[in-house]
Structure 1
Amino acid sequence: MAYLHQYDYIFAIGIIFAALDAWNIGANDVANSFATSVSSRSLTMKQAMCIASVMEFVGAMSVGARVADTIRTKVIDVSQFENEPSILMLGMTCAVIGSSVYLTIATKLGLPVSTTHSIMGGVIGVGIATLGANGVHWGWDGVAQVFAAWAIAPGIAGCFGAIVFLITKFGVMKRSNPIRNAFISAPFYFFLTAALLAMLIVWKGASSKIDLDDGGIAGTIVGTGAVVSLLSILFLLPYVYRKLFKDDWQLKWYHFVLGPLLLRRPDPPPRPENVADVVDYYAGHLTRDELDAMRASQAGVPPDPEKNGPQHVGPVSDVSSDEAQSHGRAPVLHGKAPKDSSQNIPPRPTGPWYRPAVAWWLFQRIVFRGVEKDVVGSQSHDRSFLAKNIEDMHARASHFDNKAEYMYSFLQVLTASTSSFAHGANDISNAVGPFATVYLIWSTGELNNKTPVPSWSLAFCGGCLVIGLWTYGYNIMRNLGNRITLHSPSRGFSMELGSAITVVMATQLALPVSTTQCITGATVGVGLCNGDWRTINWRMVAWIYGGWIITLPCAGILSGCIMGIIINAPQWGNAL
């Protein structure tokens, strides 16, 4: 029941812009988290959207924070508003407006930014407009942590991502028989990954207090890793053995539930030529020899056999096919950029919008247009200023055995899913925090240092997040991934695990990090281990880093100007 009825309009405006803020979290923050999985082809766009939607929403509703700081007590002195709670209500509304408007612009421009830092910038602007610069906590316990995060998060995540990838690269992928090595090492990777992700959920995702002592937490972490490793041995390894070692092309994805019974399956008939065994994770990404041969063919100059090895005379696709098959890959045809897969949606039927056929077409257009986008294709064929010479960048990276890469696609799905769960459990409540303050003051007229976050607001913002992810998440995804460096499952898994390790450590050490900055730093760290420094698109990295730097001031200026204009505006009857 509302207490401050005279401010119903402020509450209504807060709801609208909180929805826009949550929409942008889905379109920006969640999208950049799944860009790695989609870019490496471990998940299709639709699979990523479904997993992210479920895990984010469940994380927010199940173990999400039920109590949030009055965003943020670390940024402004909330006690200054004890006698004027309605001013804080207005201020938090302005903070949400500034944050959501900035995020909308950043998402449109393809800038992956931290939504937590955006709302913090909005609160800083409100604090300066109402209390002055001295009313903002600029020290290490406040805003200084955000500036430190710009260097801390990417650097640490890049180091951990590089370490994981180098172990994988030289311990598995570069050794003789990489498929066997990947198969044997899979249970260890599953144990390590599951244990680390259990830490992520216990320490970061579960914001509510978990009543476990140190021994209980250690047992939970080790036990989770052991159980997941055992499940991989019982169910995943028999499935992979049949698919990779027995070339069982008739095997369906749901057959993994049979576990050890799969070993009793009869040998399959010969595989038809037009049936691929696994996804070609390097489709569209040429090696140096393939790229030189293609350019020589386009220029009408025969390729140098001493440099490129034996080449077929004819279309470049023949060269690529032979080279691809030698790496356990399906033939790859190169030429024109692929058509936008959103063309899978049929043309608009004739008739008014309320005609059932037209209404159904409109529904498909709205719901599925975003997930039908060919994100990987647009990354590979981009010719913009930020993605010049992307083919040369990809050609400098090593290409590993495609079947060995297949093993890491399962690990990447595990890391992406669990990180999404932790993100929904932790970051949603941070974004809802200002709106929760608005709701508390509007409904009770009181001001507390701790603001309870009602479940309906988590559900409301979680739903808006899912809508943002489905409708516009592709725009951020296609700006990341292969536009920064070449992606594959082994690389993507290393990036996501390096990011998760950083978040776990930072949570325990109370260091301020952003998942956006962690995954970007891990991507750069792994990319540097791909080959030389030119395997990284430094233009795109600078573009992303610039977006981080301007987040606080831009959101702060927007919210501060709105707040300053409102509280200093002339009033009817009191104007001069």
Structure 2
Amino acid sequence: MAQPRIRLAKQTIDKDLDKLSLAEEASQHVRRSLAAPALAGLFLLLSMAFAASFVTSSVTAPIIIAAAAIAGYMAMNIGANDVTNNVGAAVGAKAMSMTTALAIAAVFEIAGAMLAGREVALTIEAGIVYGEGVLGPQAIVWIMMAALASSAAWINIATYSGAPVSTTHSIIGGIVGAGIAAAGFSSVQWWSLAGITLSWSVSPLLGGTIAATFLAFLKEFIIYREDKIAAARRWMPVILGVTAGSFTAYLAEIALVQVASISLPTGLGLGAVIGTIIYFLTKPWIYRQSEGLDNRNQSLRKLFRAPLILAAALLSFAHGANDVSNAIGPLSAIVSALDGVIATEKSPAPLWELAIGALGISIGLLLYGPKLIRVVGEEITKLNPMRAFCVALATAVTVLLASALGLPISSTHTAVGAVFGVGFFREWYIRNSKRRMQFVRERTGQTDFMETAETNFAEVRRRRLVRRSHFLTIVGAWIITVPASAALSAVLYFILSGIFM
């Protein structure tokens, strides 16, 4: 019998093809991971080129271009860490996809920063440390440069670690730390800083209180009513009208001040008109949306998806108006100081500086935002569209009010405070609401369920609706942010001043 011929060529087998497929998937993953840093670097280069086109002096050009790049880097970190508060609640409530949330936040962040970002930028620029008679232009340049770089680095570390820290705390801590390093404690405007610090303490409490109040209204007048759909048809147009009217009045009085001068009565009247129009427009829309829905809470969640998207957009606008100052305030102070001018709280921030901040925030959000969106929206307390609506609207109201007053509050504190406020209120409401107690008794036929649950303290503790571990972790991150950014900024100031001064 003839011997079989030995094949010298090795046949391709499925295992080899699988290896090729795995290699291709791995290379695609690497390309995706490298895409975000590449796009971020491209934006920084564009920021530098954009700043260079507005520089008039060749002597100061290198410093301004470098400052623009650092401000752009700071803005991207704000977008990655801070803007998550705007849409985290909506994503956590499954009211919108991550892609939709990112797109809405990016558009309205830019609008808020460009239209209403100047007021708070002035406080960051000239309201933290003394310039005239204490520091001088050259010291101001390196104080603000050190504050920008150290704050951006700290926020970058926090974002990588998954901690939603306050970018406002970071930049103000950086300015204070570098100011003290430059000229001692007398360089800091302590009374102004005390007012800002007070607003930091009040804003999460105010956000939590407003969110809990909104939720209490919804529970009393819609959720625990016999006919939930009829109650929603009655009250939801009112809620949307008040929201739209208040935002219109804010736009007229604060955000559009650079475009036109509108008196307070005119602004309030315009808000009332728009609110009334929205009420009558949304009334038939709510009716159509509610047709055929069952009389249960799941139906209400569907009705609240569109209002929640509106609230998330409003909050993104408010955040852009308030937090763009964290990147642009120091940049504006640097540009003024290099021109030999000490910035005051009436110095306008140029439009090109606002543009760098606005675009940087949106790019940072799109590239690096999803991670912390999940922390805020899903890991503190369980949110549905109704609770998320309360969180977003309460945060927007608080941040818009602070922006109107020129206070650089922390939108992170406010949004997280609102989330905790909703969770703690639900814990209290479940144990103490007579309306809910009566409603559940009628539906279940039980009469002693509350008494039984309240005597079992282990069960009450197990059923807590707010994760205390996240509460303590986030508060700890807030407390350490100011001293950490201040210390880092002071060290960086000594390095920069030693090299360039």
TM-score of the aligned structures, taking structure 2 as reference length: 0.75
1:13–1:93: 8 Å Cα contact kept in structure 2?
no
- 1:11 is displaced (CA, Å) by 2.5
Letter in 1 for 2:78: I
Letter in 2 for 1:237: I
Letter in 1 for 2:96: L
Find the residue that maps to 1:32 and give its secondary structure: helix
> Following the alignment from structure 1 to structure 2, what is the Cα–Cα distance between the partners of residues 502 and 433?
21
2:143–2:493: 8 Å Cα contact kept in structure 1?
yes
Superposition pairs of residues 89-108 of structure 1, within 5 angstroms: 89-108=141-160
- 1:425 is displaced (CA, Å) by 3.0
1:22 aligns with 2:71: no
1:183 aligns with 2:233: yes
**Partner residue, 1:227:** 277
Q: 1:411 aligns with which of 301, 307, 314?
A: 307
- 1:225 is displaced (CA, Å) by 1.1
2:167–2:326: 8 Å Cα contact kept in structure 1?
no
Q: 2:204 aligns with which of 143, 151, 154?
A: 154
Gap change, CA 1:203 and 1:123, over 3 Å in 2: farther
Superposition pairs of residues 54-69 of structure 1, within 5 angstroms: 54-65=107-118, 68-69=121-122
- 1:162 is displaced (CA, Å) by 0.9
**Partner residue, 1:431:** 327
> Following the alignment from structure 2 to structure 1, what is the Cα–Cα distance between the partners of residues 103 and 403?
28
1:53 aligns with 2:103: no
**Partner residue, 2:176:** 124
Gap change, CA 1:545 and 1:569, over 3 Å in 2: same
1:237 aligns with 2:286: yes
Deviates more, 1:446-455 or 1:37-46: 446-455
Gap change, CA 1:2 and 1:489, over 3 Å in 2: closer
> Following the alignment from structure 2 to structure 1, what is the Cα–Cα distance between the partners of residues 202 and 123?
25
Find the residue that maps to 1:42 and give its secondary structure: coil
> Following the alignment from structure 1 to structure 2, what is the Cα–Cα distance between the partners of residues 525 and 173?
18
Could you tell me which runs of 5 or more consecutive residues in structure 1 were left unpaired when the two chains were aligned: 248-326, 329-399, 572-576
Q: 1:549 aligns with which of 476, 479, 488?
A: 479
Letter in 2 for 1:175: R
Gap change, CA 1:548 and 1:149, over 3 Å in 2: farther
1:487 aligns with 2:367: no
Gap change, CA 1:495 and 1:423, over 3 Å in 2: same
Q: Note the aligned Cα RMSD (angstroms).
A: 2.7
- 1:422 is displaced (CA, Å) by 2.6
Deviates more, 1:167-176 or 1:45-54: 167-176
Gap change, CA 1:513 and 1:59, over 3 Å in 2: closer
Gap change, CA 1:555 and 1:4, over 3 Å in 2: farther
> Following the alignment from structure 2 to structure 1, what is the Cα–Cα distance between the partners of residues 400 and 177?
30
**Partner residue, 1:462:** 358
- 1:7 is displaced (CA, Å) by 4.5
Deviations 1:265-313 (A, max 9, x none): xxxxxxxxxxxxxxxxxxxxxxxxxxxxxxxxxxxxxxxxxxxxxxxxx
1:116–1:430: 8 Å Cα contact kept in structure 2?
yes
2:253–2:263: 8 Å Cα contact kept in structure 1?
no
Find the residue that maps to 1:552 and give its secondary structure: helix
> Following the alignment from structure 2 to structure 1, what is the Cα–Cα distance between the partners of residues 116 and 404?
18
1:64–1:206: 8 Å Cα contact kept in structure 2?
no
> Following the alignment from structure 1 to structure 2, what is the Cα–Cα distance between the partners of residues 233 and 93?
52
Superposition pairs of residues 333-482 of structure 1, within 5 angstroms: 401-442=297-338, 444-449=339-344, 450-482=346-378
Find the residue that maps to 1:478 and give its secondary structure: helix
> Following the alignment from structure 1 to structure 2, what is the Cα–Cα distance between the partners of residues 237 and 570?
63
2:151–2:489: 8 Å Cα contact kept in structure 1?
yes
Letter in 1 for 2:247: L
**Partner residue, 2:465:** 535
Deviations 1:425-468 (A, max 9, x none): 343144211112223344x3433324442222222222222211
Deviations 1:139-181 (A, max 9, x none): 2xx2223432343111122111111101101211122232332
**Partner residue, 1:565:** 495
Gap change, CA 1:148 and 1:439, over 3 Å in 2: same
> Following the alignment from structure 1 to structure 2, what is the Cα–Cα distance between the partners of residues 183 and 26?
37
Aligned residues, how many?
413
Find the residue that maps to 1:76 and give its secondary structure: coil
Q: Choose between structure 1 and 2 for higher RCO, CA contacts under 8 A separated by at least 6 residues.
A: 1
> Following the alignment from structure 1 to structure 2, what is the Cα–Cα distance between the partners of residues 201 and 542?
36
- 1:130 is displaced (CA, Å) by 0.9
> Following the alignment from structure 1 to structure 2, what is the Cα–Cα distance between the partners of residues 120 and 206?
26
> Following the alignment from structure 1 to structure 2, what is the Cα–Cα distance between the partners of residues 467 and 511?
25
1:200–1:500: 8 Å Cα contact kept in structure 2?
no
Find the residue that maps to 2:96 and give its secondary structure: coil
1:81–1:88: 8 Å Cα contact kept in structure 2?
no
**Partner residue, 2:248:** 198
Q: 2:411 aligns with which of 515, 524, 538?
A: 515
> Following the alignment from structure 1 to structure 2, what is the Cα–Cα distance between the partners of residues 230 and 551?
47
TM-score of the aligned structures, taking structure 1 as reference length: 0.66
2:314–2:396: 8 Å Cα contact kept in structure 1?
no
Find the residue that maps to 2:118 and give its secondary structure: coil
1:65–1:208: 8 Å Cα contact kept in structure 2?
no
- 1:569 is displaced (CA, Å) by 5.7
Q: 2:138 aligns with which of 86, 93, 101?
A: 86
2:91–2:374: 8 Å Cα contact kept in structure 1?
no
**Partner residue, 2:395:** 499
- 1:58 is displaced (CA, Å) by 2.3
> Following the alignment from structure 1 to structure 2, what is the Cα–Cα distance between the partners of residues 207 and 173?
40
- 1:498 is displaced (CA, Å) by 2.1
> Following the alignment from structure 2 to structure 1, what is the Cα–Cα distance between the partners of residues 71 and 400?
28
> Following the alignment from structure 2 to structure 1, what is the Cα–Cα distance between the partners of residues 282 and 385?
17
> Following the alignment from structure 1 to structure 2, what is the Cα–Cα distance between the partners of residues 570 and 158?
46
1:81–1:87: 8 Å Cα contact kept in structure 2?
no
Deviations 1:3-51 (A, max 9, x none): 6644544333212211110101111111122101111111111111111
1:99–1:122: 8 Å Cα contact kept in structure 2?
yes
1:195–1:225: 8 Å Cα contact kept in structure 2?
yes
- 1:131 is displaced (CA, Å) by 1.1
Letter in 2 for 1:447: I
Q: Percent identity?
A: 31
Q: 2:93 aligns with which of 19, 23, 40?
A: 40
- 1:472 is displaced (CA, Å) by 0.9
Deviates more, 1:175-184 or 1:32-41: 175-184
> Following the alignment from structure 1 to structure 2, what is the Cα–Cα distance between the partners of residues 466 and 509?
24
Gap change, CA 1:202 and 1:535, over 3 Å in 2: farther
Find the residue that maps to 2:83 and give its secondary structure: helix
1:499–1:519: 8 Å Cα contact kept in structure 2?
yes
Letter in 2 for 1:219: G
Structure with the larger helix share: 2
Gap change, CA 1:499 and 1:411, over 3 Å in 2: same
> Following the alignment from structure 1 to structure 2, what is the Cα–Cα distance between the partners of residues 211 and 60?
19
